[in-house]
């Protein structure tokens, strides 16, 4: 009988000098081993699939059972069908148990097994490994305090209905319990300091020599809407709340709790609050009720996005002077509106971030405001203390400040400190060190500066509403993004300016600007304005990257001093033409892309042009200067050219030089010797004339065009990778000078014929794949036919003169009726002739290897095997109507065939030495001994080994093929086995895809975490199953009468009929449904009896459901 795969793995855990004795008793597998004390003990290592109810004994063969191995009772999830597993019920654990392995009863047991008498661990247990009882369902859990080791998640996600007695020392990462019982009993044992009072768990501890109480957990079973923590417990003051103490991350969680919001009341005696105390809960709490706080942990009162905490202040929240430490983000995302801060409060960054603060009061004496302290609130105004020295980064970011008065004491303001407010005015002081973007994203219209200001930091006034600004005469540096996204129409730059940072004036409303030779400009300084006019100092030599991109320039006059135009400098304008100074040494990538340039005169020195300089211009005319010899890489890539004349004298056309244009024809002059990769790819070329002197053609040079013919120049010795892929070539002459045709060179064309000259010694993979070739002669110069070289053509006649190998898929997908293979042939690759319509095959003498599925899916009936082929694998001829093998040699071995099918999906029955198929060939795996002809027999086998000839074989095979139901790992279907109600619900829902027709309460015995909840809910909401007394009984077997009803309802048949059975009288509730199916010949009964109370078998279920579907289809066709 089948056992769990885990057995093998467990048996290898503790190797012995001698093999351990194994025992099977009552469906449970044991092994006897020698323990460390030298005595024999027994370990449980697995169970039989059919062992449905197990009471684990204390001893086996007189030896105490002390261990349960890793995963011993876990289902093998690699099996194909969950219906093959029967539920396991564990009645009792061994009394002398010492160790329970990882996952021993883990995931899957809540669906497939239970502990109806409880998980009651004996006091002998010392070690419980991780996941041992993960997901187990039981009414009771008892863990003795004597257990020495309990690993993480040992008892995680347990479903317990009544009670749990567990050591108080355990924590949530070791035990987590779900229950639907509001009266669930939780008892902590073994530590008097861990107790429950009201709705909270607590522990005692010593502080400064005195005993105090710390709250450590919450009774999540409570339905209390208000949880009150008392001031004292047993006369001791309650002074601390531990980390996560009032969160939902507790050991016991109540599935059925109706409490969605709780009010938490903490006593005034609390002096310390830990981290994340409300995590996971929806609580209401008044923060002003804690006047004696000394320490608040990180994110102590934080409300996360998934929570609806309402931590608020009923009166102004005055931070106690005793509060010396507030952790980072302590009050994040709360509902505090008003806070008062003392100078003694040490506050972490972001403490009040994303709260609802409207008012902040700060005492004199405060010298520093922490980073992000008040970020993302609703503060309209603030009075800063006169003692303040520094303001941290993002301190007031994203508030509603409209005015700001900085005390004279301030010497430093961090980055973005006041960004994202509603300030309308700002002043920069020379006495303050500013970070970046301090006043960004406001509504500033007025800016003033101290006269001695030398630099404006990066992003300082980014995204404001400035229409004008007067800069101080002392200013030397304007930082990157300093005035970006404003409404400046012009600006007067003082002569002191020496540097303007990147994008400093980007996205304004400038219409005219001037470039000074005295200023160092960053990239994109004037990008995205409305500039129509640009002037330059005569000595300007460089225009920085993106300087004038996205403007309205229709023309521009460049000074003669310009030597460098950097990338994208004038992109996205309206330039109609451009005259470049003679001094130009370099033009960067995309410098003039996306303009309206239609006519262009190029410099003879193409090396000055970067990639895509003229991309997306409506170029209709391009003139090359006299003396041009090179056309640079990418020069007109995606430039929309419809025609171009390449002048005589050009010798080199660069990579992708004319890619993605709209060219329909091109003549390459005789002077051109080199065409780069992708030079003319992705055009609309129908005609190409290649110059006679061309010696080098780049990869994919003419990819994706519409060429119908091409003349290959005689000086070209190689046709490169995908050079003409995806064109419309219908004829091709290859000159006798060509030696190599590379991978995919002519792939995806319309070639009907080709003549391969004897000069060609190598043809790359897929070189002629996907054409329309009908006849092929491979000359003797070709030593190897590569992978997929001629795949997917229309070849009917193939002659190969002298090749020694044929690669994988070389002739796949053709229509070959005549195949001539040379005696030089040694190897035929995998799927070489797959689906090529071959009817007969004679392998020439000399063939030594034939690859897997080399001739798969043809019409071959006869194969002649030469003496040189020493090993034959029949899968080389998979899915052929093979009837005979002619063995020419005496030393040929036919390998043991596996999963061998013919063209009608029949399996191989065997090989025979006579045509009448009565004498079986007995030398499989051995040399044949003599030349002979073997005959092949086929048979259509049953899909499962126990249904051959079964009355429901056809229906079972059809149903399993569609994936509605599966078989067992041992190759059986078990047609006579009963089928459970939950499995019927799942299968019928898959078959009929029910839609909801009613809203009813869930079955009480099918919780939402049940593996079949969705399917059972679907059939219930569709009115197919109604259950009994509010229960569905998912593990019960479905009866024949019950199936009759659900099938009639599911298929929409009318209940009632003329047919009757002796055991379905009119008084029986199911008679109308049985009669309806009987009239339709879906059920027949036996000897006049229907046996409605008898469990339906798997075969009967499949048959009845299949017949019902056929009847539905018949009615639909009418």
Select the more confidently predicted residue: 177 or 652. Answer: 652
Q: Say whether both 175 and 82 belong to one domain.
A: yes
Q: What is the pLDDT of residues 120-171, one digit of tens each?
A: 999 999 998 888 888 888 889 899 988 888 888 877 777 888 888 888 766 6
Strands 862-865 and 840-842: parallel
**Helix, strand, or coil (residue 1110):** helix
Select the more confidently predicted residue: 1 or 252. Answer: 252
| Residue 1026 resides in a domain | yes
Own/partner pairs for 1079-1083, CB < 8 Å, 24+ apart? 1080/1053, 1080/1107, 1080/1108, 1080/1111, 1081/1107, 1082/1047, 1082/1107, 1082/1108, 1082/1111, 1083/1040, 1083/1044
Is 50 exceeded by the pLDDT of residue 461? yes
Give the C-alpha separation, 534 to 562, whole Å: 14
Is 90 exceeded by the pLDDT of residue 897? no
Q: Say whether both 931 and 998 belong to one domain.
A: no
Select the more confidently predicted residue: 1058 or 382. Answer: 382
Strands (E), 690-744: 696-697, 718-719, 740-741
Q: Say whether both 712 and 825 belong to one domain.
A: yes
| Residue 33 resides in a domain | yes
Is 70 exceeded by the pLDDT of residue 553? yes
Q: How far apart are the first and last CA of the chain?
A: 49
Is 90 exceeded by the pLDDT of residue 956? no
Give the C-alpha separation, 147 to 125, whole Å: 6
Of the listed ranges 276-290, 416-430, 652-666, 748-762, the least confidently predicted one is: 276-290
| Residue 92 resides in a domain | yes
Do 132 and 109 contact (CB within 8 A), yes or no? no
Select the more confidently predicted residue: 938 or 482. Answer: 482
Give the C-alpha separation, 799 to 778, whole Å: 6
Give the C-alpha separation, 1049 to 1025, whole Å: 9
Strands 840-842 and 542-543: unpaired
Nearest CA-CA partner of 176 in 157, 152, 203: 157
User: Measuring CA to CA, how many Å separate 968 from each of 86, 945, 946?
Assistant: 12, 10, 11
pLDDT, residue 252, reads: 61
Q: What is the pLDDT of residues 305-332, one digit of tens each?
A: 655 667 888 888 888 888 889 999 989 9
Give the C-alpha separation, 458 to 206, whole Å: 54
Q: Say whether both 203 and 179 belong to one domain.
A: no
Q: Say whether both 727 and 742 belong to one domain.
A: yes
Strands (E), 443-549: 446-449, 455-456, 477-478, 499-500, 512-515, 520-521, 533-536, 542-543
| Residue 112 resides in a domain | yes
Own/partner pairs for 573-582, CB < 8 Å, 24+ apart? 573/548, 573/549
Rg (CA), the chain: 43
In the chain, the number of structural domains is 5
Cβ neighbourhood burial of 424 (10 Å; 0-12, 13-18, 19+) = middle
pLDDT, residue 222, reads: 67
| Residue 992 resides in a domain | yes
| Residue 612 resides in a domain | no
Domain-ending residue, one of 915, 939, 963: 939
Angle among Cα 874, 875, 881 to the nearest 5 degrees reads 75
Q: What is the pLDDT of residues 766-781, one digit of tens each?
A: 999 999 999 999 999 9
Is 80 exceeded by the pLDDT of residue 475? yes
Residues facing residue 214 across a β-bridge: 203, 240
Q: What is the pLDDT of residues 2-20, one digit of tens each?
A: 333 333 333 333 333 345 7
Give the C-alpha separation, 542 to 559, whole Å: 10
Confidence of residue 255 (pLDDT cuts 50, 70, 90): low
Select the more confidently predicted residue: 13 or 612. Answer: 612
**Helix, strand, or coil (residue 339):** strand
Q: Say whether both 975 and 930 belong to one domain.
A: no
pLDDT, residue 83, reads: 39
Q: What is the pLDDT of residues 971-1020, one digit of tens each?
A: 888 889 999 999 999 899 888 888 878 888 889 998 988 888 888 998 88
Give the C-alpha separation, 210 to 385, whole Å: 40
pLDDT, residue 942, reads: 67
| Residue 424 resides in a domain | no
Is 90 exceeded by the pLDDT of residue 807? yes
Confidence of residue 488 (pLDDT cuts 50, 70, 90): very high
Work out the average pLDDT over 1028-1038: 89
Q: What percent of the chain has pLDDT over 70?
A: 92
User: Measuring CA to CA, how many Å separate 1091 from each of 951, 1039, 1083, 1084, 1087?
Assistant: 19, 9, 11, 11, 10
**Tokens 């405001």, residue located:** 369
Q: Say whether both 100 and 236 belong to one domain.
A: no
pLDDT, residue 881, reads: 94
pLDDT, residue 930, reads: 95
Do 574 and 596 contact (CB within 8 A), yes or no? yes
DSSP state of 470: -
Is 60 exceeded by the pLDDT of residue 254? no
Confidence of residue 79 (pLDDT cuts 50, 70, 90): very low
Q: Say whether both 775 and 914 belong to one domain.
A: no
Work out the average pLDDT over 939-958: 80
Cβ neighbourhood burial of 126 (10 Å; 0-12, 13-18, 19+) = middle
Domain-ending residue, one of 911, 939, 967: 939
Confidence of residue 531 (pLDDT cuts 50, 70, 90): very high
Select the more confidently predicted residue: 83 or 1084. Answer: 1084
pLDDT, residue 9, reads: 33
Is 90 exceeded by the pLDDT of residue 970? no
Q: Say whether both 203 and 331 belong to one domain.
A: yes
Give the C-alpha separation, 913 to 748, whole Å: 47
Work out the average pLDDT over 790-804: 96
**Helix, strand, or coil (residue 633):** coil
Q: Say whether both 1102 and 957 belong to one domain.
A: yes
DSSP state of 906: P
Residues with Cβ within 8 Å of residue 934, at least 6 apart in sequence:
884, 885, 887, 894, 911, 912, 913, 921
Q: Say whether both 171 and 223 belong to one domain.
A: no
Work out the average pLDDT over 242-260: 63
Q: Say whether both 151 and 42 belong to one domain.
A: yes
Q: Which of 401-405, 604-608, 1031-1035 has the highest mean pLDDT?
A: 401-405
What backbone phi and psi angles, to 5 degrees, belong to 82? -70, -20
Task: Look up the domain containing 1025 and give its range.
Answer: 953-1117
**Tokens 């261990």, residue located:** 67
pLDDT, residue 668, reads: 97
pLDDT, residue 689, reads: 95
Confidence of residue 717 (pLDDT cuts 50, 70, 90): very high
Angle among Cα 281, 284, 286 to the nearest 5 degrees reads 135
Do 263 and 282 contact (CB within 8 A), yes or no? no
Work out the average pLDDT over 176-185: 74
CB atoms within 10 A of CB 516: 16
Work out the average pLDDT over 632-659: 92
Residues with Cβ within 8 Å of residue 90, at least 6 apart in sequence:
54, 55, 56, 73, 105, 113, 114, 115
Select the more confidently predicted residue: 707 or 307. Answer: 707
Question: In CATH, what number is assigned to the domain containing residue 142?
Answer: 3.80.10.10
pLDDT, residue 511, reads: 97
| Residue 590 resides in a domain | no
Domain-ending residue, one of 322, 341, 360: 341
Q: What percent of the chain has pLDDT over 90?
A: 58
Of the listed ranges 54-58, 467-471, 693-697, the least confidently predicted one is: 54-58
Work out the average pLDDT over 25-44: 89
pLDDT, residue 49, reads: 61
Nearest CA-CA partner of 327 in 278, 375, 294, 288: 294
Confidence of residue 85 (pLDDT cuts 50, 70, 90): very low
pLDDT, residue 5, reads: 33
pLDDT, residue 1084, reads: 83
Give the C-alpha separation, 1009 to 1017, whole Å: 12
Work out the average pLDDT over 198-223: 85
Give the C-alpha separation, 615 to 647, whole Å: 22
User: Measuring CA to CA, how many Å separate 310 from each of 301, 331, 338, 525, 728?
Assistant: 10, 11, 14, 47, 71
Name the token pair of 86: 């029967």
pLDDT, residue 103, reads: 82
Residue-averaged pLDDT of the chain: 88
């Amino acid at each position: 009988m089948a056992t769990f795969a885990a057995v093998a793995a467990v048996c290898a855990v503790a190797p012995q000098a001698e093999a351990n004795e194994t025992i099977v008793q009552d469906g449970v597998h044991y092994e006897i081993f020698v323990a460390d004390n030298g005595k024999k003990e027994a370990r449980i290592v697995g169970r039989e699939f059919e062992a449905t109810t197990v009471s684990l004994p204390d001893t086996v063969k007189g030896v105490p059972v002390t261990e349960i191995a890793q995963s011993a009772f876990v289902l093998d999830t690699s099996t194909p069908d969950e219906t093959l597993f029967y539920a396991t019920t564990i009645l009792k654990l061994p009394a002398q148990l010492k160790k329970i392995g990882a996952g021993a009863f883990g995931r899957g047991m809540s669906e497939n097994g239970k502990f109806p008498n409880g998980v009651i661990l004996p006091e002998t247990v010392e070690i419980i490994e991780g996941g041992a009882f993960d997901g187990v369902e039981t009414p009771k859990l008892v863990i003795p305090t004597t257990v020495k080791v309990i690993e993480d998640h040992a008892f995680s996600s347990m479903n317990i209905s009544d009670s749990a007695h567990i050591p108080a020392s355990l924590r949530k990462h070791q035990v987590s319990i779900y229950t639907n019982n509001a009266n669930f009993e939780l008892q902590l044992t073994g530590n008097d300091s861990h107790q429950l009072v009201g709705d909270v768990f607590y522990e005692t501890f010593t502080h400064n020599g005195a005993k105090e109480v710390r709250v450590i957990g919450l009774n999540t079973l409570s339905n209390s809407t208000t949880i009150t923590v008392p001031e004292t417990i047993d006369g001791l003051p309650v002074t601390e709340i531990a980390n996560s103490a009032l969160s939902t991350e507790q050991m016991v969680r109540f599935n059925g709790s109706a409490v969605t919001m709780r009010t938490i009341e903490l006593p005034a005696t609390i002096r310390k609050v830990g981290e994340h105390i409300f995590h996971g809960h929806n609580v209401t709490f008044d923060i002003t009720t804690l006047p004696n706080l000394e320490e608040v942990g990180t994110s102590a009162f934080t409300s996360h996005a998934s929570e609806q905490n309402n931590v608020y202040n009923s009166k102004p929240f005055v931070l106690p002077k005793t509060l010396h430490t507030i952790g980072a983000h302590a009050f994040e995302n709360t509902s505090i509106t008003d806070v008062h801060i003392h100078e003694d409060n040490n506050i972490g960054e972001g403490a009040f971030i994303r709260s609802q603060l409207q008012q902040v009061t700060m005492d004199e004496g405060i010298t520093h405001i922490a980073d992000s302290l008040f970020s993302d609130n609703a503060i309209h105004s603030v009075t800063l203390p006169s003692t303040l020295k520094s303001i941290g980064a993002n301190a007031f970011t994203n508030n509603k400040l409209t005015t700001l008065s900085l005390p004279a004491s301030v010497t430093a303001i961090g980055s973005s400190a006041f960004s994202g407010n509603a300030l309308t005015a700002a002043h920069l002081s020379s006495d303050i060190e500013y970070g970046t973007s301090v006043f960004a994203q406001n509504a500033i219209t007025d800016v003033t500066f101290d006269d001695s200001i030398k630099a404006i930091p990066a992003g300082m006034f980014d995204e404001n509403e400035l229409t004008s600004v007067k800069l101080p005469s002392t200013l030397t540096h304007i930082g990157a993004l300093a005035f970006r996204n404003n409404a400046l129409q012009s600006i007067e730059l003082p002569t002191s300016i020496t540097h303007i940072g990147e994008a400093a004036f980007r996205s304004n409303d400038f219409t005219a600007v001037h470039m000074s030779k005295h200023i160092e400009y960053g990239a994109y300084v004037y990008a995205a304005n409305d500039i129509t006019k640009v002037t330059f100092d005569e000595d300007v030599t460089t225009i920085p990257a993106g300087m004038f991109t996205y403007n309205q320039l229709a023309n521009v006059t460049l000074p003669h001093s310009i030597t460098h135009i950097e990338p994208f400098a004038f992109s996205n304008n309206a330039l109609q033409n451009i005259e470049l100074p003679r001094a130009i040494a370099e033009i960067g990538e995309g410098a003039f892309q996306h303009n309206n340039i239609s006519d262009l005169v190029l410099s003879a020195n193409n090396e000055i042009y970067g990639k895509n300089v003229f991309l997306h211009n409506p170029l209709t005319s391009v003139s090359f200067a006299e003396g041009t010899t090179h056309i640079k890489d990418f020069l007109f890539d995606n430039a929309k050219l419809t025609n171009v004349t390449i002048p005589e004298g050009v010798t080199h056309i660069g990579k992708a030089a004319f890619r993605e244009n709209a060219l329909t024809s091109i003549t390459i002059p005789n002077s051109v010797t080199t065409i780069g990769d992708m030079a003319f790819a992705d055009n609309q070329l129908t005609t190409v004339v290649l110059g006679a002197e061309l010696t080098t053609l780049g990869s994919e040079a003419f990819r994706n065009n519409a060429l119908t013919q091409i003349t290959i120049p005689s000086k070209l010795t190689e046709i490169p990778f995908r050079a003409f892929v995806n064109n419309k070539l219908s004829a091709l002459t290859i000159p006798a000078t060509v030696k190599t045709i590379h991978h995919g060179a002519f792939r995806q064309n319309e070639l009907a014929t080709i003549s391969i000259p004897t000069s060609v010694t190598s043809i790359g993979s897929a070189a002629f794949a996907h054409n329309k070739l009908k006849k092929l002669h491979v000359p003797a110069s070709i030593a190897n036919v590569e992978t997929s070289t001629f795949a997917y053509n229309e070849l009917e006649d193939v002659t190969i003169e002298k090749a020694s190998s044929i690669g994988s898929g070389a002739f796949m997908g053709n229509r070959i009726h005549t195949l001539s293979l040379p005696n030089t042939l040694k190897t035929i690759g995998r799927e070489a002739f797959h689906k090529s319509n071959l009817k007969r095959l004679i392998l020439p003498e000399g063939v030594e290897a034939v690859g897997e599925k080399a001739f798969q899916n043809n019409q071959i009936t006869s194969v002649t095997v030469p003496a040189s082929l020493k090993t034959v694998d029949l899968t080389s001829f998979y899915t052929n109507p093979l009837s005979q093998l002619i063995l020419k040699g005496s030393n040929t071995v036919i390998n043991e065939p596996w999963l061998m099918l013919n063209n009608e999906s029949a399996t191989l029955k065997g090989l025979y030495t006579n045509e009448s198929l009565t004498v079986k060939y007995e030398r499989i795996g051995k040399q044949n001994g003599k030349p002979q002809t073997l005959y092949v027999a086929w048979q259509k086998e049953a899909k499962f080994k126990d249904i051959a000839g079964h009355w429901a074989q056809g229906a079972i095979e059809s149903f399993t093929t569609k994936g509605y139901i599966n078989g067992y790992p041992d190759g059986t279907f078990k047609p006579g086995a009963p089928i459970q109600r939950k499995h019927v619900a799942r299968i019928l829902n898959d078959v009929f895809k029910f839609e909801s027709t009613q809203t009813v309460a869930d079955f009480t015995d099918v919780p939402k975490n049940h593996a079949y909840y969705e399917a059972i809910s679907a059939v219930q909401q569709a009115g197919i199953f109604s259950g009994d007394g509010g229960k569905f009984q998912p593990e019960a077997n479905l009866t024949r009468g019950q199936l009759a009803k659900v099938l009639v309802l599911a298929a929409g048949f009318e209940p009632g009929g003329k047919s009757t059975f002796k055991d379905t009288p009119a008084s029986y509730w199911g008679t109308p449904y049985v009669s309806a199916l009987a009239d339709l010949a879906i059920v027949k009964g036996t000897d006049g009896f229907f046996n409605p109370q008898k469990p339906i078998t798997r075969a009967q279920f499949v048959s009845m459901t299949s017949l019902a579907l056929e009847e539905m289809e018949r009615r639909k066709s009418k």
